[in-house]
Amino acid sequence: MSRATPPPGLAEAEDAARRHPGHPPHWLQFGLALNEAGQTAQALEAFINAATLDPGFAEAQYNCGVILYHQGELVAAAARYRAALARQPGFILARSNLGVTLEAMGETEAALGAYDEAIAADPNNPAPYWNKALLLLRNGKEEEGWRFYEWRWSAGKAGARREFPGKRPWLGGVALRGKTILLQAEQGLGDMIQFVRFIPLVKALGARVVLESFTPLTTLFGGVAGADLVVDVGGKLPRFDFYCPLMSLPLALGVTLARMPAPGAYLRAQPERVAVWGERLGPARRMRVGFVWKGNPRHEGDGVRSIKLELLRGLFGLDAEFISLQKDATDAERALLEEHGVRHVGHLLGDFADTAAVVEMCDQIISVDTSLAHLAGAMAKPVRVLLPARADWRWLKEGETTPWYPTARLLRGARQGQWEDVVRRAMEALAEEGR
């Protein structure tokens, strides 16, 4: 979902709108400033004012659509995007966002049509290509989806693409035997955990594999099958012949969901770390359940995937030992955990080798869509993943199981923002297993 350009200062924009109440562009600028300041409800009012004064004001209608979409008002959002396109048919972001909204409404073919129309109108605009990639992947059309996923760089969804003068990028089709390839780190920690499963396939092509890793994962990744060397991002690199971003490997290798490698554990806890944490945690006398309830707040989708700790209160009454692995728990959250007798160790976790050791000592994991869910799945631990109604592409759009992690069970919300039923089903499943 694409947003408009950054606004002017809030005070100046409000002053202009108040002094010229009949001038739609001033209300648009005021709305942009309010939205930038996090005052989305007031921003929507300002955009509506602009659109009411001039129903053909395409940018005002578009910005109404953006906020309405994020409020879950999908039908109203689609109407606003269509109003913008009625006045300005070449408004590519409006057409691309209309596709996102239609997909969220379950109108997959109409969404695909909107993306294709946007691409035909402006073949150099990355937004519709990126949105089409997510639609294809979410619907299990991975062969075409992986090709469109390469637009992540142009769409600004994976940071800056790093290239190496004199070295060749690799996306398959070129023999690697006897060559050294650098697999580049990209995106988030969970993404890295999910995609290192493909390294043995690269190794099988006869290559020497150098894996670039984010520092919190480096020690854990030291045991990844097929990786000859693991280096930190920003560290000194050895000589290599080819390079490939880690999340381009499915495209390069021709991987499909039906041919998903590593069905079992492909990451393991280090015995020495397990021994340390065994001393800290002591013997388990009941079913031990590790959990987290929120992800990285800087992630653009975090407001959709994370939940409030209060929603998990009912879990803590079950006959189980609950262990919080949440690294950034607030004082209020830690007080709530203490009130319910929940052990909190998140602040003691140094890196993911520590986290893996705790996961190894748990019988079950409960996690929102964040790195712990991927780690538990990669270790073949039973994990229940709490998902919003419209989950990230990697979990597909429906189903309780995933070919990525056979030990995972996906608990999906019925409506965006409503988590009570998801938590209830997690409670019922744990209660049944604890009997």
Pair 426, 288 in one domain: yes
Q: Can you tell me the mean pLDDT for 70-95?
A: 94
pTM of the model: 0.91
Q: Is residue 163 part of a domain?
A: no
Question: What percent of the chain is modeled with pLDDT above 90?
Answer: 83
Q: Is residue 282 part of a domain?
A: yes
Task: Specify the pLDDT at position 302.
Answer: 65
Pair 129, 172 in one domain: no
Pair 235, 287 in one domain: no
Per-residue pLDDT band for 404 (boundaries 50, 70, 90) equals very high
Pair 125, 186 in one domain: no
CATH label of the domain that carries residue 376: 3.40.50.2000
**CB within 8 A of 189, min separation 6: which ones?**
214, 216, 217, 352, 371, 374
Task: Specify the pLDDT at position 390.
Answer: 87
Measure the CA–CA gap between 27 and 48, rounded to whole angstroms: 9
Picking from 125, 152, 179, the residue at the C-terminal end of a domain is 152
pLDDT digits (tens, 9 = 90+) for 300-315: 776 788 999 999 999 9
Does position 225 have pLDDT exceeding 60, yes or no? yes
Q: Is residue 360 part of a domain?
A: yes
Pair 282, 414 in one domain: yes
Q: Is residue 361 part of a domain?
A: yes
Measure the CA–CA gap between 391 and 139, rounded to whole angstroms: 12
Does position 414 have pLDDT exceeding 90, yes or no? no
Per-residue pLDDT band for 7 (boundaries 50, 70, 90) equals low
CATH label of the domain that carries residue 207: 3.40.50
Q: Can you tell me the mean pLDDT for 70-99?
A: 94
Pair 136, 207 in one domain: no
| Residue recorded with tokens 């648009």 | 28
Q: Is residue 374 part of a domain?
A: yes
Q: How many domains does the chain have?
A: 3
By CB neighbour count within 10 A (0-12 exposed, 13-18 middle, 19+ buried), where does 206 fall?
Answer: exposed
Segments forming the whole domain that contains residue 227:
168-259
Question: What's CA 185's distance to the chain center, in Å?
Answer: 16
Measure the CA–CA gap between 250 and 252, rounded to whole angstroms: 6
Q: Is residue 278 part of a domain?
A: yes
Task: Specify the pLDDT at position 2.
Answer: 59
Side chain identity at residue 331, one-letter code:
D
Measure the CA–CA gap between 378 and 196, rounded to whole angstroms: 9
Task: Specify the pLDDT at position 72.
Answer: 84
CB 325 within 8 A of CB 290: yes
Pair 89, 181 in one domain: no
Pair 279, 340 in one domain: yes
Task: Specify the pLDDT at position 159.
Answer: 85
Q: Is residue 161 part of a domain?
A: no
Pair 420, 335 in one domain: yes
**CA nearest 112: which of 99, 93, 126, 95?**
99
Q: Is residue 206 part of a domain?
A: yes
CATH label of the domain that carries residue 75: 1.25.40.10
